[in-house]
Amino acid sequence: MEPTQVRLTVPDSLDITRVMGPADSLLRRIEAATDAAVSVRGNTVAVIGSAEEANALVQVFSALIREVEAGGTPTEADVDLLLSQAAAGNAPQAAPFDDILVTHRGRPIRPKTVGQASYIDAIRTHTVTFALGPAGTGKTYLAMAMAVAALKRRDVGRVVLTRPVVEAGESLGFLPGTLEEKLDPYVRPLYDALFDMVDAEKAATMVDQGVIEIAPLAFMRGRTLNDAFVILDEAQNTTPEQMKMFLTRLGFRSTFVVTGDTTQRDIAGTGGLDSARRVLEGVEDIAFCDLDRADIVRHTLVGRIVDAYAAAEGR
């Protein structure tokens, strides 16, 4: 079969070094991932290979061009994501989505896949949103970005971040330290995401003032959460009773986001996430978003790990 040759022109208005990366690092990344031949002359990119490879790489380069046109700076991680999307038969996505938030370091946070964009749209249009999917799909991180953005716009007066405390063989009472020190490992991932978006000193001030609250799920009992953006993380480790308790904390002018991965449960019996879907799916103003392998935006190896475990469980 004769090889296919496809040419793509980078607009003259763009700096081609931003598309190809510093010292052509992005170009080299793409070349290493394919058997097709890629050459760049001036602002013209030529790809020679099988029809499938050539068309996939043109889509990857087109996505990088859109990213630069939108003011972004593509990274090697972005290239890996685009290549994995192309390999899975999905049209690579880059910068077709609006920014959710610009971090204190000036880095824009935006959805990177169609599934993530649908998730963000669901949060914007529903009072309660459930996000289910494997590790690396951005469930918690994007919800945190939406929460911080809502706080900055003053759409809400506070942000509440909570997750169940699931003990691994030891009771909290027997662990050393104060209550805060005992709980810190459970809520640390939420702090990490927060500090990635907001200056650490400013974030600490907001936590001290109660504008941002990070607490175990058990601390939600008996409360009504008005004027708040509330995220329940690791919801697969809730019981049906805990999930009902949490959802009934909903107050006026509030948004609730529930995230979880049903394949990584640490409790026995029926989980709160499964029961919530069975009971609430179809209820007005509640959305369920399913993120999958195509939405994983961590290291490409994470996707292969998820696939391997899924295959093993299938066997």
| pLDDT score at 298 | 66
3-class secondary-structure state, position 161: strand
Can you give the CATH number for the domain in which 12 is found? Answer: 3.30.1370.10
Digit-coded pLDDT (tens) for 111-121: 888 888 899 99
- Point out the least confidently predicted range of 86-90, 154-158, 230-234, 279-283: 86-90
Rounded to an integer, the average pLDDT of 222-228 is 94
The residue ranking higher by pLDDT, 86 or 118, is 118
Whether 12 and 67 map to the same domain: the answer is yes
Q: Distance between CA atoms of 252 and 79, rounded to whole angstroms?
A: 42
Q: What is the DSSP letter of 221?
A: T
Rounded to an integer, the average pLDDT of 254-266 is 91
**pLDDT at 273 > cutoff 60:** yes
Domain stops at, among 87, 111, 141: 87
| pLDDT score at 75 | 82
The residue ranking higher by pLDDT, 82 or 151, is 151
3-class secondary-structure state, position 91: coil
| pLDDT score at 54 | 85
Domain count, the chain: 2
Q: Which domain holds residue 63?
A: 4-87
Q: Distance between CA atoms of 297 and 75, rounded to whole angstroms?
A: 12
| pLDDT score at 183 | 63
Q: Distance between CA atoms of 227 and 127, rounded to whole angstroms?
A: 12
Can you give the CATH number for the domain in which 243 is found? Answer: 3.40.50.300
**pLDDT at 169 > cutoff 70:** no
The residue ranking higher by pLDDT, 51 or 133, is 133
Whether 178 and 213 map to the same domain: the answer is yes
Whether 23 and 163 map to the same domain: the answer is no
Report the candidate in 300, 315, 235 with the shortest Cα–Cα distance to residue 88.
300
Rounded to an integer, the average pLDDT of 164-178 is 56
103, 197 contact by CB (below 8 A) = yes
**pLDDT at 176 > cutoff 60:** no
Q: Identity (one letter) of the amino acid at 92?
A: P
Q: Is the pTM of this model over 0.85?
A: no
The residue ranking higher by pLDDT, 245 or 165, is 245
| pLDDT score at 101 | 81
pLDDT band at 166 (very low <50, low <70, confident <90, very high): low
pLDDT band at 97 (very low <50, low <70, confident <90, very high): low
Whether 71 and 118 map to the same domain: the answer is no
Does residue 93 lie within any of the structural domains?
A: no
3-class secondary-structure state, position 48: strand
The mean pLDDT of the chain is: 84
Does residue 94 lie within any of the structural domains?
A: no
**pLDDT at 181 > cutoff 70:** no
Does residue 117 lie within any of the structural domains?
A: yes
Whether 180 and 59 map to the same domain: the answer is no
| pLDDT score at 182 | 60
Whether 133 and 209 map to the same domain: the answer is yes
How large a percentage of the chain has pLDDT more than 70?
A: 88
Whether 147 and 179 map to the same domain: the answer is yes
Whether 120 and 82 map to the same domain: the answer is no
The residue ranking higher by pLDDT, 240 or 89, is 240
